[in-house]
Amino acid sequence: MIKTKGNYTLENRKKMRGGEGEVKIEKLWEPGSELKAKTRLFARLIIEPGSSIGFHKHENEEEVFYILKGTAEINDNGDIFILNEGDSSLTGAGRGHSIKALGNETLEVLAVISEYSKN
């Protein structure tokens, strides 16, 4: 299956998970209907400068953030890190995280949430 640019679902969320500003979620592949693996999200997040996704935990799942463009401040379960293009983070197993766009450039992040098997 192939999808081309401009054929993705776009969702806008204000104050996502208690964060600031607005986050655009470009859903690249839809779990269930397109993705058959245990995936809850496969999307590009577009976060304008000063905007953020608030701190939240991931139980029975994990989320990868891969920085495509810009600079991010990541709270990784209480530890603060600055990530740039090409850097990534992994949060799961009950741990929590948040992400904020730093500087004057729009932050673009590939976000993937995979669910753990229930064996």
Q: Domain-by-domain residue ranges, the chain?
A: 9-115
From residue 35, give the alpha-carbon distance in Å to each of 2, 64, 81, 116: 13, 17, 31, 15
Fold of 9-115: Jelly Rolls (2.60.120)
For the cut 70, the answer to whether the pLDDT of residue 27 exceeds it is yes
Half-sphere exposure of 29 (CA within 13 A, CB side): 17
> Encoding tokens for residue 61?
């799942």
> Could you give the percent of the chain with pLDDT greater than 70?
99
Average pLDDT (102-114) is 97
The overall average pLDDT reported for the chain is 96
Give tens-digit pLDDT for 39-92.
999 999 999 999 999 999 999 999 999 999 999 999 999 999 999 999 999 999
The model scores a pTM over 0.75 = yes
